[in-house]
């Protein structure tokens, strides 16, 4: 796994309130909800007293936003944000570790980020979560305002697995995040590393979980660390999940997957494939993304790691799929683990938008393309953040109520600080970028009708920027 670089920034903040958290979980059959009390740090508003910070966030995108609500949540990790497309309610989930226990929490805002509710613990068993730099929690809003949250738990006791074994956890709320039903563990068909996951929900409330299933103790493969892209399906609103389906037998080892459903109910899956068929010889050092410590002694693998997409063609049953296609032939030969997953989304016209990182183009960095024929063909890649050298980074994407496409990534070209990089491709085709949106890591994004929300981590402090759209 790539090593996470921590950066430092000092904010001048003034607390406007402290929040005491009272979590809850609903026992699935008749008994009343069982409450879980948990003290929690408050959300601090630093908007009014940090105009210079606000100006940095607004830089180059003032044509599209009318105001910003800023928050910071102390000592948390693994954030995810989802904004309801129906009423712009903001749902924010995160992990918090206290007394050697990690738990998942949810807060929400119905006033565009001005205030948030007290935190509710999501996991019904205390400590049933793991602080994780690989994959953040995932949260989606169902068609009837159900709240679904996905995370995983890492067990490091099995030393045959270099990074520990991990299993998925899933919880559902049917009262808009006030309480949660008991946690379930979908997809525990094999022992392995289940990570780099995503979660999608359809209009008929079918749920789809994509993830990488890696078996690091397998030795009889011609590659050192095989990963499979798998998909879990639930057709009863998350009460149960079918056995997993394999989408790809040889995926890139540690790039997050992405999933979404179309209006017709089909599920789309986006991931980085590892091709061991196409070959081109690279010596160590000729490709700056090849890491010597990832190579077996005396062996150089010749693997292309490009972005592929497929979608189901059986009305959302998701057992059969169209043949996978490359989003673009970047031909990124890399012997290593880039930790640079892609992102996708649909606009109101059914156009599919994709963002991804590559080291194989004429200039490495983050690119964007779209498809108007369900992923068969994509436009020429549009450079978002490219240079002669750009460190690998995750890509996240969201589409607002005006069909503006928002893309977030990190810019690690500056050795002193890693910056949150935000790009916006407007519905009329203009590209806006802000290279200094924030200092930190792991930006996550969601968009509603009239707002866009971006979260990122500065060490263990979660920054939340809610942008009001013009």
Q: What does the pLDDT look like over 236-272, one tens digit per residue?
A: 999 999 999 999 998 988 899 999 999 999 999 999 9
Give the closest residue to 119 by CA, choosing from 104, 132, 134, 129: 104
Give the chain's mean pLDDT.
Answer: 84
Q: Largest Cα–Cα distance in the chain?
A: 64
Q: Where are the domains of the chain?
A: 21-469
173-211 burial code (b ≥16 CB/10 A, e <16): bbebbebbbebbebbeeebbbbbbbbbbbbeebbbbbbb
> Is 10's pLDDT higher than 60?
no
Contacts of 192 (CB under 8 A, 6+ apart): 161, 165, 166, 213, 214, 215, 216
- pLDDT given at position 301: 57
- pLDDT given at position 217: 41
Other C-beta atoms within 10 Å of 314: how many?
12
Cα–chain-centroid distance for residue 355?
A: 12
DSSP label of 324: P
**How far apart, in whole angstroms, are the C-alpha atoms of residue 406 and residue 422?**
7
Task: Please report which confidence band the pLDDT of residue 11 belongs to, taking 50, 70 and 90 as the band edges.
Answer: very low
Please tell me the number of Cα atoms within 13 Å of 155 on its side-chain side: 12
> Is 17's pLDDT higher than 90?
no
**How far apart, in whole angstroms, are the C-alpha atoms of residue 132 and residue 339?**
13
**How far apart, in whole angstroms, are the C-alpha atoms of residue 31 and residue 26?**
8
Give the model confidence (pLDDT) of 135-164 as tens digits. 789 999 999 999 999 998 988 777 666 667
The CATH class given to the 21-469 domain equals: mainly beta
> Is 96's pLDDT higher than 90?
yes
Tell me the average pLDDT across 205-212: 96
CB 463 within 8 A of CB 440: yes
Give the closest residue to 227 by CA, choosing from 338, 355, 130, 128: 338
Look at strands 43-45 and 147-155 and give their pairing. unpaired
Other C-beta atoms within 10 Å of 466: how many?
26
């Amino acid at each position: 796994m790539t090593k996470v670089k921590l950066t430092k920034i000092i904010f001048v903040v003034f607390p406007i309130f402290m929040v005491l958290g009272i979590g809850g979980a609903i026992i699935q059959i008749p008994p009343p909800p069982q409450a879980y009390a948990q003290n929690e740090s408050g959300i601090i508003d630093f908007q009014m007293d940090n105009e210079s910070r606000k100006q940095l966030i607004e830089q180059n995108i003032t044509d599209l936003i009318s105001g910003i609500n800023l928050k910071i949540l102390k000592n948390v990790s693994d954030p995810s944000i989802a904004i309801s497309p129906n009423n712009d309610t903001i749902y924010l989930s995160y992990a918090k570790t206290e007394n050697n226990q990690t738990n998942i929490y949810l807060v929400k805002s119905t006033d565009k980020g001005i205030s948030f509710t007290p935190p509710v613990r999501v996991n019904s068993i205390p400590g049933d979560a793991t602080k994780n730099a690989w994959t953040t929690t995932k949260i989606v809003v169902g068609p009837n305002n159900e709240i679904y949250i996905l995370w995983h738990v890492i067990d490091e006791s099995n030393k045959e697995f270099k990074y520990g074994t991990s299993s998925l956890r899933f919880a559902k709320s049917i009262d808009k995040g006030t309480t949660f039903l008991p946690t379930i563990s979908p997809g525990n068909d094999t022992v392995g590393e289940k990570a780099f996951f995503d979660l999608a929900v359809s209009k008929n409330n079918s749920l789809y979980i994509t993830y990488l299933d890696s078996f690091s103790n397998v030795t009889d493969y011609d590659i050192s660390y095989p990963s499979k892209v798998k998909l879990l399906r639930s057709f009863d609103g998350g009460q149960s999940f079918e056995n997993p389906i394999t989408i790809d037998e040889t995926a890139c080892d540690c790039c997050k997957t992405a999933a979404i459903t179309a209006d017709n109910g089909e599920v789309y899956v986006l991931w980085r494939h590892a091709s061991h068929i196409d070959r081109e010889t690279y010596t160590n050092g000729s490709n700056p993304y090849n890491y010597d410590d990832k190579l077996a002694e005396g062996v150089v693998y010749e693997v292309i790691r490009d972005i592929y997409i497929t979608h189901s063609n059986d009305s959302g049953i998701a057992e059969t799929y169209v043949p996978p296609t490359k989003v673009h032939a970047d031909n990124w030969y890399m012997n290593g683990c880039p930790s640079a997953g892609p992102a996708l989304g649909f606009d109101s016209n059914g156009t599919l938008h994709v963002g991804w990182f590559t080291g194989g183009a004429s200039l490495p960095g983050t690119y964007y393309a779209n498809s108007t024929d369900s992923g068969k063909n994509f436009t020429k890649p549009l450079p978002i953040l490219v240079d002669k050298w750009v460190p690998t980074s995750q890509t996240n994407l969201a589409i607002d109520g005006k069909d503006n496409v928002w893309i977030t990534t990190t810019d690690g070209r500056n050795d002193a600080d890693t910056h949150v990089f935000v790009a916006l491709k407007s519905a009329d085709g203009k590209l806006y970028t802000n290279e200094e949106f924030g200092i930190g890591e792991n930006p996550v994004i969601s968009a509603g009708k009239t707002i866009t929300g971006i979260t990122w981590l500065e060490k263990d402090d979660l920054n939340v920027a809610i942008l009001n759209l013009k």
